[in-house]
Homo-oligomer: A and B are copies of this chain.
Amino acid sequence: MSHPLVVMKFGGSSVANADRIRRVARRVAAARSDGADLVVVVSAMGDTTDELLSLAAAITEEPDARELDMLLATGEQQSSTLMAMALHALGVAAIALTGAQAGIVTDGTYGKARIAGIDPVRIRAELADGKVVIVAGFQGQSAKALELMETTTLGRGGSDTTAVALAAALRADRCQIYTDVKGICTADPRVVPDARQLAVVGYEEMLELAHQGAQVMQVRAVELGWVNDVVIEVLSSFEDAPGTLIREDPLVEQRNKVRGIAHDRNVAKITLVEVPDRPGVAYAVFSPLADAGISVDMIVQNVGHGARTDMSFTLPRVDLEKAKRVLEPIVRELGFREMTTDASIAKVSIVGAGLHNAPGYAARMFGALADAGVNIEMISTSEVRITCTIAEQDLEAAARALHAAFQLATPDPLDEAAARGR
């Protein structure tokens, strides 16, 4: 087949009401008239998912996970059929498919199912029949046999995952994620006014940007794109402008620099003072937190002086109270001197695929923060990122100082070169 195959994904705000659905349909119709074969993945309309969750909460405090998935999946089934109708009204042949009809098979983990495989036989047949195929995002079925079939959902933002997984299974030429931002920027424009849109970003860089608080795309969907080598384009559903390509970046070695600044305000810190310095203490602390579903991020243990040491770690701010409840008996039992908490900290990171083999970036980062009068509390690094914990009140100054220090407002000629493949 000589037509390009494009997967387009539209989020809840893009299909929040009948007018917006018709606007998206016009955009899809235009892409169709350009000759592309199209698979369109949609999220539920606007706040539908939250409304359904409220309804369940009004019935019971602990809704059964299977029933909740079946309930939530109806949101995307509704928006997908309405999108098909809107395309019909424009004279475009189209058909809506549930996750099950689209052949999306998952494991049986309700609420955060993993895609086990995609059997796109129905999608291919509908495409061959000249139709735009609308797929209800966020959902799948847990078995191929009808008698055992259960509806599953992929977790928050699961429609991104649906889109990337379909693009991989169909070997699509492009996977477009339409969102309410224009693309991925060197920093959050609300914090750093001269932040610049990136034409291209590597998968690993995007993962770090997403992890560190740039909430444009789901981490899982980026990982899935990386593993399957799916070229993802993040772009605005409200403007007709090029977005940011997420792809394997062949210019990493030449570029070797900071690509963006990420930040995260949803951070709290717990410090355990005068921890007994003996084996097993860390396990005693972190194992019950993991059991309670709390993910701990940065962990710092000071050099011991004598038999006791201090231990600090960060966690999502929303989990702070729960973590305190979990840890209080342990603190008494293990004989810490005290537990202190800080809910007004933030994280700021520099991200770039070349950072790990280019010493000197850390020093430049710390220097820029010092010049801006920002005190660093904790530091952690990964292959493509250096993160500092700072006081939340210093966050804007820190992000702007780093954006300036690494000259991110200046367009990068290599960026343009890498984007030429679009």
- A residues with a Cβ closer than 8 A to B are 18, 21-22, 52, 55-56, 58-64, 66-68, 70-71, 74, 77-78, 80-82, 84-86, 88-89, 95-96, 98, 100-101, 121-122, 144-147, 149, 151
Contact = CB atoms under 8 A, between A and B. Distances in A.
B78 A59 contact: no
A147 B71 CA distance: 23
Q: Determine how many copies of this chain the complex contains.
A: 2
Nearest to A149: B101
Given A18-B59, A59-B89, A67-B95, 6 more contacts: A18-B55, A56-B82, A60-B89, A70-B81, A100-B149, A121-B147
Contacts of A144: 146
Contacts of A62: 88-89
A77 B122 CA distance: 23
Contact of A64 (B61, B63, B68, B84): B84
A394 to B, nearest CB: 45
A121 B145 CA distance: 13
A9 to B, nearest CB: 19
B63 A85 contact: yes
Contacts of A85: 56, 59-60, 63-64, 67-68
16 contacts: A18-B58, A18-B59, A22-B59, A55-B82, A59-B82, A62-B89, A67-B81, A67-B85, A67-B95, A68-B85, A70-B80, A70-B81, A70-B98, A74-B77, A98-B151, A122-B147
A81 B150 CA distance: 13
A213 to B, nearest CB: 34
- Among A22, A59, A64, A74, the one with the most B-chain Cβ atoms within 10 Å of its Cβ is A59
A100 B81 CA distance: 18
A56 B149 CA distance: 28
A291 B18 CA distance: 33
A88 B71 contact: no
Contacts of A98: 70, 151
Contact of A146 (B52, B89, B146): B146
B77 A71 contact: yes
A56 B21 CA distance: 11
A52 B48 CA distance: 13
Contacts of A66: 95
Given A64-B84, A68-B81, A70-B77, A59 B21 contact: yes
A88 to B, nearest CB: 5
A146 B147 contact: no
Contacts of A52: 78
A60 B147 CA distance: 35
Given A89-B60, A144-B146, A78 B82 contact: no
